[in-house]
């Protein structure tokens, strides 16, 4: 069975601070995909990143960066110089790479960026 744990329920930071959202996963699959999604107060789900399990290179996209550590089954997400618009619930998710994309989501981390 697959499981995604986001231990941080809520985080508050002051604008311009860096913040890291933790994600730990469990899976028996040898290959799999990891995702991060953003859910702003408006409620839609915004895709941020997909990472294949055989690609452990860290990724940076503007103020966003992701640290994938297969040895510790973690896929952490860092926002640098946070902004008020980053306030949202962030979900980490996992799916097998073969077959269809049934995705297992974590419970989410609510990030509040205070001006």
Partner 1 sequence: NAGVMQNPRHLVRRRGQEARLRCSPMKGHSHVYWYRQLPEEGLKFMVYLQKENIIDESGMPKERFSAEFPKEGPSILRIQQVVRGDSAAYFCASSPGTGATFNYGYTFGSGTRLTVV
Residues that bind partner 1 (CB under 8 A): 4, 35, 37, 43-45, 47, 49-50, 91, 93, 95, 97-108
CB 74 within 8 A of CB 67: yes
Residue 16 CB, shortest distance to partner 1, in Å, is 28
Give the residue among 50, 48, 38, 62 at the shortest CA–CA distance from 110: 38
Residue 17 vs 52, nearer CB to partner 1: 52
Residue 44 vs 115, nearer CB to partner 1: 44
Residue 23 vs 79, nearer CB to partner 1: 23
CA-based radius of gyration for the chain:
14
Residue 78 CB, shortest distance to partner 1, in Å, is 19
Residue 43 vs 62, nearer CB to partner 1: 43
CB 4 within 8 A of CB 92: yes
* Cα(83)–Cα(69) distance, integer angstroms: 26
Give the residue among 72, 73, 32 at the shortest CA–CA distance from 52: 32
Residue 50 CB, shortest distance to partner 1, in Å, is 5
């Amino acid at each position: 069975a697959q499981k995604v744990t986001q231990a941080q329920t809520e985080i508050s930071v002051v604008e311009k601070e860096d913040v890291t959202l933790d994600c730990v996963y469990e899976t028996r699959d040898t290959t799999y995909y990891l995702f991060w999604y953003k859910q702003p107060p408006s409620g839609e789900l915004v895709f941020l990143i997909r990472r294949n399990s055989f690609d452990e290179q860290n990724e940076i996209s503007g103020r966003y960066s992701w640290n994938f550590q297969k040895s510790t089954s973690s896929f952490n997400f860092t926002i640098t110089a946070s902004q008020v618009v980053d306030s949202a619930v962030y979900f980490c998710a996992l799916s097998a790479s073969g077959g269809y994309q049934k995705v297992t989501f974590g419970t989410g981390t609510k990030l509040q960026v205070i001006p």
